[in-house]
Structure 1
């Protein structure tokens, strides 16, 4: 019993140095038995609690059925969508909150602005008494919406009580799971690395966190992540250094090196170049460039090159994404009106404007040339790798592009090897859902990750078209499909398809459906044909494979 208490204490170490502030709470509307959350990026922490009903939630592309009485935790910069139906009135609550942590000098840092959360909880928790949680949520909402400052303060106090219930249950379930589940232990080690990367970390430290022998830990970690634990630590440190540089500021190279855990400046420079492809000083100079993603197709190439656009189309979800992911609050959303857009750029005076030549008139291109240097991606460049290299050459980032592609290819090769005994022999089909229609994904989509980069087999006799083609459920029945990957265009469309064709006997007779071999992806941003979105798909395939094995 004493050992269990010690493990719970370790799991929530540092909790007493954190503060939690309620930002908003909303319950289901009276008389409305359906609730939906549109696909969006979280700017803070979130809780979803439903005492009854059915539905689903996707977090960073991971699909989960929502269970009554469960609490689902969302973290900053995650990509979230949800749909709940047939729930009781006042039986569902969506809560947003900030996590703050004391830093050196008693300063408070808001973790809602960070890409990694230190909030010590899993993404799904089942409290012992859902009724108590429901009553507590009702009381919090009533006080929060009262209009009284004193009662809103009371809501903050009750919210702390709710978090205590959540974290206590997390600790209780965490003890048994950590003792029996090596995957959970490895995830806790990854969390430990991402929290303590600025300190000295040894293999013995990490093996101790996992409660394993060093040799056993090193073998399991490399099997799961495709690299050693110390390589993972190095990559994470360099990525954190890149993030600091991208944010600007006046921190020196030496200060950044110390912040991410390096005391030897020469060693830091060597590792930075090894991971990034260029020296840190050159990376910092590049960060000061003002680069415009004039068309959304340019965003994926720029993100892969660690060139965070300072301006991009306002109607594209990536604009919001990199504002939160990279803490670029000053991002300029480009107007959809051409005249207004050009005036925005004249005032901004960018260094580079990256655009898709096939989507712009000669007159507009000429007006842009008067504003800044252009990188116009030619129409004949149909392959995402060629587009990445073209942009890299124009922006003098060739080394960064080759380093990124090398890491991408190594990750793809690792996943191919891992899947060789399972998915390697399966016939895989990637389809897209749009409204009530199904379409076989073309090669200029996420399908290229599965067929070209991972080498998975298509159904017999199938030849992919460049842009895909519509398909019926009857046609899918006739194909030799072992596994389906479905890119969904929003929750409402998927729910409608489930109520229609996906509930039919024809759909259930497809072998992949019968065997439960169906995986879901959100349409955006995974289906964009760019370097960065392809890496997201690759990471999601790795996660799906790891969960399955």
Structure 2
């Protein structure tokens, strides 16, 4: 056996599987595999056995063919494969592994990927050392379980005096060992984690307890010195606690199926309660990722079911912004607080909401600044998209499991942005407004020069694109079908609109559909 066989026998890959798709590994029975999930959720199927793939978990497979599928927008899995014939690792692999944050192990995985094609003796030795380092990182299960217990203790005892020495004692470890393993598990030092949890708890208290003072908040999160708490809070949030408290003055609740908290946050006000969609955004507490951190401490109301008036009022709002609801009006208990209630009619553009909300909270000047900033960004993106938009007419689709939605020329935030602001030319035969459900045959008859597919699950797109009629569409024949990653595109609010615009040019240029 040549020396470099020790290296070439090992293969490292990064697999990225989008929601609804599968990746099949035709591995032989002569190979072993180690999997690590760096992001997302999914499952792998091995000999009819279905095993969940959760973020930060590792899995050892000593049998042949297996299938990996994604349950979230994107599942990323690192896989190390090696032959059983010269196996030196399996004896050290456990049935279960420690959950290790990606920041702790991705550098090892990436270095393994980079160095696997090197053939020098030093490279072979370095590769082998990285493999052992990876195993050492993921197999310290018992101690990692103790770290989890300490994390739970911290989160449930934030009002107590907590020292790193006491935490190490609870884990039955020396301070040095505890700090090292805690950083490995949580991605930061114990002291830093304790501070972050206290700041999160402080924000929640300030949002949910009316008329609370910074001194009272400090005591509730286990900090006796009000001035130290103020310095600490400012170093993490950029403003002192007194400044943060102004973000909830006035105390506003949002009762709507729209993310009007986007407008409030852009105006510098954090609502005490606001809608969420847990099934749409399961990984970010029911809101788009770009709003999650900004809404920490806000009571998130489940907009997928009827709102509960008592829950809303428990946040002690001084005013309630409400739009018409799909499931009918709220119960009378909410309307006994008419002095707090501000009814907003449904609007046809994002800035109409911004202007009306700005008047309610006394932020008209800030609203004008936001509109100017968004307008300048729209002009910039319009110029960047000229090579794509200067020729041809467009149809915009949302491909769903049981329908194809064809969007019209106006009265929807996305198409208004595309056709009125960014230079897209609408196909003359699309609806004048809103959307309508169409068949694939009707899409073929429409025969658009260019297609833009938004929000669609890859499984549904794949199914449609493999139907014979699909190839008859002019946009498909000329390769002018665009399918950008648009899962969180929601331009109804200024923050969401800005996020979309910042991503739009690159997403379009990289998003041509390839089947």
1:329-372 superposed Cα distances (whole Å, 9 cap, x missing partner): 54324367999711123332112211114668788578346176
Q: Secondary structure at the match of 1:344?
A: helix
Paired position in structure 2 for 1:143: 95
Distance across 2 between alignment mates of 1:158 and 1:254: 30
Which of residues 414, 424, 431 in structure 2 aligns to 1:456? 424
Q: Distance in 2 between matches of 1:527 and 1:533?
A: 5
Q: State whether structure 2 residue 372 is matched by structure 1 residue 406.
A: yes
Pairing 1:482–2:449 present? yes
Tell me which of 48, 55, 63 is aligned to 1:96: 55
SS in 2 for 1:425: coil
Contact 1:349 1:372 in 2 (8 A): no
CA 1:525 to 1:402, structure 2 compared with 1: closer, same or farther past 3 Å? same
Distance in 2, Cα, partners of 1:301 & 1:404: 10
Q: What secondary structure does 2:396 align onto?
A: strand
Q: 1:42-57 residue pairs with structure 2 within 5 A?
A: 56-57=17-18
Give the superposition deviation at 1:159: 9.7
Once the 2 structures are TM-superposed, how far is the Cα of residue 454 of structure 1 from its aligned partner?
A: 0.6
**Structure 1 residue 457 displacement after superposition:** 0.8
1:507 CA displacement: 0.6
For residues 261 and 340 of structure 1, the distance between their equivalents in structure 2, rounded to whole angstroms, comes to: 31
Equivalences for residues 16-415 of structure 1 within 5 A: 56-57=17-18, 94-97=53-56, 129-131=80-82, 143-144=95-96, 155=98, 163=106, 165-169=108-112, 259=235, 285-297=246-258, 298-313=260-275, 315=277, 317=280, 320-321=286-287, 325-326=292-293, 328=295, 330-334=297-301, 341-357=308-324, 364=331, 367-368=334-335, 370=337, 373-379=340-346, 381-415=347-381
Given that 2:482 and 2:511 are in contact with CA atoms closer than 8 Å, whether structure 1 keeps it comes out as no
Distance 1:438 1:414 in 2: 31
Per-residue deviation at 1:64?
9.5
Q: Which residue number corresponds to residue 505 of structure 1?
A: 468
CA distance in 2 between counterparts of 1:348 and 1:536 reads: 29
**Count of residue pairs brought into register by the alignment:** 367
| Secondary structure of residue in 1 paired with 2:387 | coil
Post-superposition offset of 1:285 = 1.6
Q: 1:326 to 1:346 in 2, by over 3 A?
A: same
1:419 deviation in Å?
Answer: 1.4
Matches of 2:34 and 2:504, distance apart in 1 = 26
Residues 407-426 of structure 1 aligned to structure 2 (within 5 Å) = 407-426=373-392
Q: 1:132 to 1:349 in 2, by over 3 A?
A: farther
Aligned match of 2:181:
none
- Preserved contact between residue 427 and residue 480 of structure 1 (Cα < 8 Å): no
Matched, 1:540 2:499: no
How far, CA to CA, are the matches of 1:539 and 1:467 in structure 2?
A: 25
- Residues 158 and 305 from structure 1, CA distance in 2 versus in 1: closer, same or farther, beyond 3 angstroms? closer
SS in 2 for 1:411: helix
Q: How many angstroms does 1:416 deviate by? A: 0.9
**TM (normalized to structure 1)?**
0.52
CA distance in 2, matches of 1:333, 1:507: 42
Of 389, 394, 403, 1:428 maps to: 394
Return the alpha-carbon distance in structure 1 between the equivalents of residues 101 and 491 of structure 2.
43
Partners of 2:378 and 2:248 lie apart in 1 by 28
Structure 1: runs of 5 or more not aligned: 1-47, 99-122, 145-151, 176-242, 263-271, 273-279
Question: Offset of 1:428 from its aligned partner?
Answer: 2.1
- CA distance, structure 1, for counterparts of residue 510 and residue 231 of structure 2: 39
Question: Structure 2, unaligned stretches of length 5 or more?
Answer: 1-12, 26-32, 58-74, 119-199, 207-213, 215-225
> Could you say what the CA RMSD is over the residues aligned between the two structures, in angstroms?
5.3
Look at both structures and tell me which one has the larger radius of gyration over its CA atoms. Answer: 2
Q: TM-score, normalised by structure 2?
A: 0.55
Name the SS for the 2:426 alignment partner. coil
The aligned counterpart of 1:495 is 459
- Deviation per CA, 1:488-508, whole angstroms, max 9, x where unpaired? 45x4xx525633x43112112
Structure in which a larger fraction of residues adopt helix = 1
